[in-house]
Structure 1
């Protein structure tokens, strides 16, 4: 052992060396707990996880992580491995400086096997080298060669152009700028246009304004099975590992026919606008048919709605857990679930709901007070929904955890108070910046940030999972059904339960914010189906009992 140690001390680091030979024992034990045994595996782990690679490892903070990465970079030559640029990049105001770098993409035909790789797999053993040969970047960091910029595209209009666009990237950004006040639409359209632009330049070798009908047909076929080099795990947009298509749990990125049709329609709409503003002479997508889609019997997946008995048991359990000392997260999730389950809100609507828009209704009475909440929902349509007494009690408890007075808030405080807001802020720069509370003149937090829709969804999923894992007194079927419920399932629960209690369908429609009454009648059919299934089960049990008596 002494001889081996002496020989190892004289050798440079090698990917096959155990991490315990080069790192401190305490650090090595932490890394081994994550399945990292060699230096090569450590580099691959860092490159796969990116700048936050250390967060899942106990007692490895940012300082220690920075020291480990610095040591790996010093020995890149002997390791013959490269640590990706964003693993420990310099930050300014919490944002990696690598996010400001402009990346020029080139056609795949010009990329050779001996060229520099840009993907994560090039930095560690066992990766797919083919996946690392393409340089890809999101729209905000994207640059294309002049020959493929569309500055002299074949489809460019000769007439006076209404927008200031010298090339295709300018035209894309001008189109997206129309949706700057609609963040959800902007995010969705940006994703589809950057995917199409990258496909055109990198895989098709053409500018956007050079594409014809056969190119659009080829992209429609591409959507059925995207190129593996365009597919990867979810990473921040500033990461070199970012890919246009996110891989599923099975590693594929196959899109449903409904998604394919949506993408084709988004692109057709964008090209139509470019024709209208005289940037393009014609719209090739106009001659492309939509992908075939099977018309579903039920467009909405409402089977995740909780049955009445399970919904009541869940409410009781949430009340019990919220009554415990220090159960701030349970009180927050109870308020969120009741807002969706009693008022039919979508998760985006619950996350954006403001205290100033919640008030006692003029239609209530002293014996039966009613509160109402005004929200802006899907399609930027405003509506007012009733709020239950249980929801109000849950909100008051949640506000006490935030050290705020729900009923005694002044009008000034109400202007910027989200109904739901995190009580525990994650220890990350991004979270601290977003939830930093400036002090108002009254000493109260001003401009408090609420949950994002995704953050609220993660909170509900985490707490529901804990319920499923700990509620041993519930039946297996109940836990399975609850485990399948996401945040939107509680909106479906309100709809099915209110219809079952004979609330008029047009009233349910107004509460849910459906444009068409036909959409709401899906819940009526669901309730009829449930009645038939329950009675059919009753018939079967009666028949079985009759048969036993006959025996």
Structure 2
């Protein structure tokens, strides 16, 4: 049979990622294989990094693959150099320069990223672990995550930061042709840190201008901005001249407001020392302004009763482009309403707030009349109790949570990277949780708590208290660092009422550990500062400005403290080894536990331990004893339910 030409089918070349090339470069530079495996690979996802021998075999194989491709596709000079090296040493000996040349000639060996690739193939282990911890397991999931959250997506991923986020987004954009999915335009890579724009205007953390003008027209192009970043078209501003609102008063006004936004600013300025009230009122007024300008296309000072009734109907079902998931107020993805809309109670609250705001604008003679005075509040159901006492943690669950917190706080001795920072975060969260769970504080009260308002408690029978007028330990200006006796704390709570609350010995111990992390001595005489403060300052304009204004020891904001507590509780619920004795129901409750639930935990535990109701009322700061009695009814109902289960089991 005559010889016939035969075609040899070669297998496709093995592909390598950017991480592999970086590891090979380190290997060529004589870095130990053990160190390379630790720096660039996760042993759980990369079996070749399980041992030094396996790592070295993998890198030598990769080097040989690249050399063969370079011999086929490289320049004659490079091929001659590699052949000579192989003849002399048995394998090619590469330097940093020749490795670069080999890498350029062996582009066929470079893998291209696709959306189904796990993140650990393309990012270093620490970055991949932090992304995976948020449920971001693939490159496609990472792009979806960025697109859903906009330019501030990185804030939801612990310890990523603005600079790493910029690098990640830029890399995703470079490979969008092979990924087949693009990162949205507003996921900015230029500067995720606030900066000054070319025209001198401030730019937000997601790259958008802070003074965002509402776009009238296509809802797909709509940019809704929160009140502090808001600017409206001149013709809808209600200002002096041709744009003057129809309801503007003609007499001398008591405020110097040239347009509606300035008038609303003047009204909100009255609540500058009441941050919770200020935040709630700002939310309701900005919603009305956005609706008035975008939907009604009227100035705020031109609204009539019919417009107010239309807005009341709008609150029941906001337009889709007015709703969205919760986003930072600096993000272009921010929307004034949540996807689920407002409850009837929230709708009624909005009407009351707007009626009061317009009444003040009439009182200061900015407006001629109050159209909201003729608008009835939406019908609501009067409930027996609006407090969600059922969210309080049962005694057993609360005890195990405290034990688990103590265990996590002791992890500072671990040699794992970042273990010290993680333990410091746990100690801050423990101090906040104990302040609310052992003292019944509200989240805002725990945020505003200060060391100078804390003093030792003189308990009858306490060996540390003074007797017979002698000058004993009770005269100390700070709790005894060697003891865990309780303390008392004077706070300004809701409705600007001052009250005194107890602080447990366990809370004092937790605060001492947290202050030590901050580099302060909790027991130093005359020391001052917030009881709980963050360990690092985010690189955002708001945080940096606040840090400059308030000094080095800046307290948490109310929302930030809530996130700290919520994240700690959710992470605890994931550690089944520490919470193995809990039922599925307990774990579900723990996952859904908010910061305020710990205040309810204190109330229910205090009643269960027969603390007098009037004492519980004083500690919690309730205006009415009837409110405190809700805990009594809840505890009685829990007792009856437990008894019913006991007798049912007995009958069986």
TM-score, normalising length: structure 2: 0.66
CA distance change for structure 1 residues 284 and 539 in 2, over 3 Å: closer, same or farther?
Answer: same
CA contact (8 A) 2:443 2:558 kept: yes
Pick the aligned partner of 2:454 from 340, 358, 367: 358
SS at match of 2:601: helix
**2:532 match:** 420
Aligned to 2:325: 233
The structure 1 residue matched to 2:566, chosen from 454, 457, 461, is 461
Q: 1:548 maps to what in 2?
A: none
| Counterpart check, 1:133 vs 2:229 | no
Q: What residue is the counterpart of 2:544 in the other structure?
A: 433
Q: Which moved more, 1:504-513 or 1:475-484?
A: 475-484
- The Cα of 1:133 is off from its aligned counterpart by 3.3
2:73 equivalent in structure 1:
none
In structure 1, what is the equivalent of residue 245 of structure 2? 153
SS at match of 1:398: helix
Query: 1:437 Cα deviation (Å)?
Result: 9.6
* CA pair 366-217 structure 1, distance change in 2 beyond 3 A: same
Q: 1:302 to 1:143 in 2, by over 3 A?
A: same
The answer on 1:309 being equivalent to 2:386 is no
User: Structure 2: 5+ residue runs without aligned partners?
Assistant: 1-10, 13-110, 197-201, 414-422, 466-485
Distance in 2 (CA, whole Å) between partners of 1:432 and 1:287 is: 42
Distance 1:90 1:406, change over 3 A: closer
Distance verdict in 2 for CA 1:475–1:512, change over 3 Å: same
Partner Cα separation in structure 2 for residue 287 and residue 456 of structure 1 = 40
Distance 1:306 1:58 in 2: 30
**CA positional deviation for 1:82:** 7.2
Q: Kindly provide the CA deviation profile for residues 245-302 of structure 1, in whole angstroms up to 9, marking residues without a partner as x.
A: 23xxxxx232111110111111000110011111111111111111111111221000
The alpha-carbon distance between structure 1 residues 63 and 208, as it changes in their structure 2 partners (threshold 3 A), is: closer
CA 1:354–1:72 in structure 2 vs 1: closer, same or farther (change >3 Å)?
same
Could you tell me how far 1:138 is from its partner in structure 2? 2.3
In 2 relative to 1, CA 45–476 (structure 1 residues): closer, same or farther, beyond 3 Å? closer
Could you tell me how far apart the structure 2 residues matched to 1:377 and 1:191 are? 22
Q: Deviations over 1:114-134 (max 9, x none)?
A: xxxxxxxxxxxxxxxxx5232
Q: What's the Cα RMSD here?
A: 3.8
2:249 and 2:591 map into 1 onto residues whose CA distance is 55
SS in 1 for 2:270: helix
**Residue 305 and residue 231 in structure 1: after superposition, are their counterparts in 2 closer, same or farther (change >3 A)?**
same
Partner of 2:265: 173
Cα deviation for residue 336 of structure 1 reads: 1.9
- Structure-2 change in CA distance of 1:433 and 1:64 (3 Å): same
Shift of 1:356: 0.8
Given that 1:257 and 1:291 are in contact with CA atoms closer than 8 Å, whether structure 2 keeps it comes out as: yes
Please tell me whether residue 242 in structure 1 is matched to residue 342 in structure 2.
no
Q: 1:368 to 1:480 in 2, by over 3 A?
A: farther
Pairing 1:63-78 to 2, within 5 Å after superposition: 64-65=167-168, 67-68=170-171
CA contact (8 A) 2:437 2:601 kept: yes
1 or 2 for the larger relative contact order (CA 8 Å, sep ≥6)? 1
**2:378 pairs with 1:262:** no
Please say if residues 223 and 255 of structure 1, whose CA atoms lie closer than 8 Å, have aligned partners that are also in contact: yes
Partner of 1:384: 500
- C-alpha distance in 1 between matches for 2:387 and 2:322: 30
Deviation at 1:87, TM superposition (A): 4.9
Change (3 A) 1:331 1:243: closer
Q: Deviations over 1:526-545 (max 9, x none)?
A: 1111121122222212222x
Aligned to 1:96: 203
Return closer, same or farther for 1:88/1:254 CA change in 2, 3 Å cut-off: same
**Structure 2 counterpart SS, 1:158:** coil
Q: 1:503 aligns with which of 591, 598, 611?
A: 611
Rounded to whole Å, the distance in 2 between the matches of 1:377 and 1:19 is 58
How much does 1:428 deviate?
4.0
Match of 1:50 among 125, 129, 150: 150
- Counterpart for residue 9 of structure 1: none
* Cα deviation 1:345-384 (Å, max 9, x = unaligned): 1122112211111111345554376410111211222211
- Contact 1:103 1:143 (8 Å CA) reproduced: yes
Aligned residues: 486
Structure 2 residue 309 is the aligned partner of structure 1 residue 217: yes
Please give the per-residue CA displacement for 1:458-489, whole angstroms capped at 9, x wherever unaligned: 22222222322222233333323333322111
Cα separation, 1, equivalents of 2:276 and 2:248: 30
Map of 2:482 onto structure 1: none
Are the equivalent residues in 2 in contact too, given 1:231–1:245 (CA < 8 A)?
yes
Q: 1:61 aligns with which of 164, 168, 174?
A: 164
Post-superposition CA distance 1:43-102 (Å, at most 9, x none): 8765543334567599982563474488699x9xxx999723855347556973555553
Which of 570, 580, 587 is the matching residue for 1:472? 580
Paired residue for 1:14? none
How far 1:145 sits from its partner (Å)?
A: 2.7
Change (3 A) 1:351 1:106: closer
Contact 1:272/1:283 (CA < 8 Å) preserved in 2?
A: yes
Q: For residues 355 and 93 of structure 1, do their structure 2 counterparts lie closer, same or farther at Cα, with a shift above 3 Å needed?
A: farther
Which 5+ residue runs of structure 1 have no aligned equivalent?
3-17, 113-130, 247-251, 439-444, 545-551
Please say if residues 54 and 65 of structure 1, whose CA atoms lie closer than 8 Å, have aligned partners that are also in contact: no
